[in-house]
Amino acid sequence: MTNPAAVSCPAGEWAKVAENVTTGVITVKGNESDGLYYDYRLTGAAAPTALTTAIPFDGLQLNFQTAAAIDVYVWNETDNAAVVVAHL
């Protein structure tokens, strides 16, 4: 993925927005994060398939830092949205 990368998040499905990263920032394009959720898995693990472990966005920006490399996914509940992902 380019850095930073704009990633589309179609409604009703998980979109992988970052792969094999340990630090980064995800910024919601636009001014509304209602209906957006994120989840992550260790790199190489299966992608999420349900919202049971999903975390709602709290604001328009998500900062993350982990010890192990992860893949980050965004679920859009309402309509088509996009995020910008920067790997630090």
Per-residue pLDDT of the chain (88 residues; tens, 9 = 90+): 678 889 999 999 999 999 999 999 999 988 778 889 999 999 999 999 999 999 999 888 999 999 999 999 999 988 778 889 997 6
This prediction's pTM? 0.91
Of 2.60.120, 3.40.1130, 2.70.40, 1.10.260, which CATH number belongs to 5-87?
2.60.120
Question: pLDDT, tens digit, for every residue of 1-15?
Answer: 678 889 999 999 999
The reported pLDDT for the residue numbered 80 is 76
Q: Please state the domain extents for the chain.
A: 5-87
- Spell 8-36 as b/e; 16+ CB within 10 A means b: ebeeeebbebbeebeebbbbbeeeebeeb
Question: Residue 35 region, left (φ>0) first, then alpha (ψ -120 to 50), else beta?
Answer: left
